[in-house]
A and B are shown apart, each in its own frame.
Chain A
């Protein structure tokens, strides 16, 4: 089983729509969770952290369900510039810490 699993998509949605991505992780001891964004042939960049209580950053809302080991990202009022691959990221809880990346979910916003 992969450490971090995501639906690779692609998701094609019209501009202005709301879209949600999900992600599951296998290690119940993981403590930190993040969403990164990667544009085509570019480097990944941190989009937002994910907190247990849920958190919002503008049009983006992240949720964490520790019991189900499940993370979500909701994008409201999607823009053309939201087109990218969204990477679910979890830290390793033991030893030398590192970030483990999911395969990514590709999103295309259509005009």
Chain B
């Protein structure tokens, strides 16, 4: 039973390029969360999605960032015109339902973005 799969694991981009990060949730999970972790900092919530719907994007910057979770295929976090400050680890997590009362989000291994 595969866990949450993220790719690429490492991505290097130059300023101004686009970064596209993919996340396949665990089998049977229809809720996906994206978090960003800057060096030496905690995880910051970015966006919560269900299939074809953005439920909460309150943590996502208004410009350059977008996320989707299509009916078929992985969830994608897209960062346009990257800047050095976007360098971080981006973690995807999934859960089988929208309630987090059990606290268990299953995290992928993360995608580490480096912007040169």
Q: Please tell me which one of the listed residues B45, B55, B101, B107 contacts residue A100 in the complex, with CB atoms under 8 A apart.
A: B45
Q: Is the CB of A32 within 8 A of B98?
A: no
Chain B at the A interface: SS class? loop
Cβ-closest chain A residue relative to B41:
A103
Residues of chain B with a CB closer than 8 A to A101's CB: 35, 42-45
Chain A residue with Cβ nearest B55:
A96
Q: Shortest Cβ distance from B75 into chain A, in angstroms?
A: 15
B41 touches A99 (CB 8 A): no
A-B contact count (CB 8 A): 58
List B86-116 residues whose CB lies under 8 Å from chain A: 91, 98-105, 107-110
Residue of B nearest to A100 (CB): B45
In the assembled complex, which residues on chain A have CB atoms less than 8 Å from the CB atom of B102?
A: 32, 49
- Selected contact of A87 from candidates B43, B44, B100, CB within 8 Å: B43
Q: Is the CB of B56 within 8 A of A95?
A: yes
Residue of A nearest to B89 (CB): A41
> What would be 12 A-B contacts, judged by CB atoms less than 8 Å apart?
A33-B103, A44-B91, A44-B107, A46-B104, A49-B102, A96-B48, A96-B98, A98-B33, A101-B35, A101-B42, A101-B43, A104-B42
Residues of chain B touching chain A, judged by Cβ–Cβ distance below 8 Å, are 33, 35, 41-45, 48, 55-56, 91, 98-105, 107-110
Mark A residues whose CB is within 8 Å of B.
4, 31-34, 42-46, 49, 87, 89, 91, 95-104
